[in-house]
Amino acid sequence: MKYNRVLLKLSGESLMGSQQYGIDPERLNDYVKQIKEIVDLGIQVGIVIGGGNIFRGLSGASKGFDRVKGDSMGMLATVINSLALSSGLDASGCKSKVFTAVGMEPIGELFSKQKAVESLENGYVAIFSGGTGNPYFTTDTASSLRGIEIEADVMLKGTRVDGIYTADPEKDKDAKKFDEISFDEIYVKNLRVMDLTATTMCKENDLPIIVFDMDTVGNLKKVILGEKIGTLVHN
């Protein structure tokens, strides 16, 4: 197998499934099944999940929330999602541990690289919640940071679309998909794969990214087995 340790980034919005808000139990179970599949293959899995299904700091700021408080609310939304995912994994017989970016015991354990790597090596899925613990940073940046810290082989960015396109494929039927693309090309073409801070961190620390459709059950395992789905971003 190509990878030993991965950082999986999940979007909070995807957790809504067919709902308008919150957590769709069916979608959560789909994610749990897919994660368990790769854990059963012996892959060490770290996860960062967004909070957009509950609250998004930036949209809160546009509605008059103080940006720093809004971002703190967004961080707490990611903790709620992380606990839901952890609960689902535990119920499926897959051991998991929630780490938080700020002190929140007993809800989760304060993140440290040593404890996170130790839990991964002991067969736990490590779920990293609370973003980076700082305002003005997205969960994409938190994924880059945690992926680099745990020395992941790759970041797997699970989205609703099956890779990176020249334009939004949901809006432009002529959009062309990239099978692979360099970080530099992303800058030049101004493609919004992740925010620039997150992309730059991955580029500078040589952490490749695979963007793929996580909502199709079975795709996560295909990526791990090296099937050519999604888009590979690399130096």
Q: Could you report the per-residue pLDDT of 130-156, keeping only the tens digit for each?
A: 999 999 999 999 999 999 999 999 999
Q: Could you report the per-residue pLDDT of 62-88, keeping only the tens digit for each?
A: 788 899 999 999 999 999 999 999 999
In this predicted structure, what is the pLDDT of residue 38? 98
User: Is the pLDDT score of 168 beyond 90?
Assistant: no
Q: Which of 56-60, 63-67, 123-127 has the lowest mean pLDDT?
A: 56-60
Residues of the chain with pLDDT > 70, as a percent, come to 100
In this predicted structure, what is the pLDDT of residue 173? 87
The per-residue pLDDT of the chain, averaged, comes to: 95
Q: Are 7 and 46 in contact (CB under 8 A)?
A: yes
CATH number for the domain harbouring residue 165? 3.40.1160.10
Q: How does DSSP assign 132-167, residue by residue? A: TSSTT--HHHHHHHHHHHTT-SEEEEEESSSSEESS
Residues of the chain with pLDDT > 90, as a percent, come to 88
Average pLDDT over residues 23-41: 97
> What does each C-alpha distance from 88 to 28, 83, 85, 107, 119 come to in angstroms?
7, 9, 5, 16, 18
pLDDT band at 224 (very low <50, low <70, confident <90, very high): very high
pLDDT band at 112 (very low <50, low <70, confident <90, very high): very high
Its domain, for residue 129, covers 5-234
Q: Are 201 and 145 in contact (CB under 8 A)?
A: yes
Dihedral sign (CA 114, 120, 121, 124): positive
Domains identified in the chain, total number = 1
User: Is the pLDDT score of 221 beyond 90?
Assistant: yes
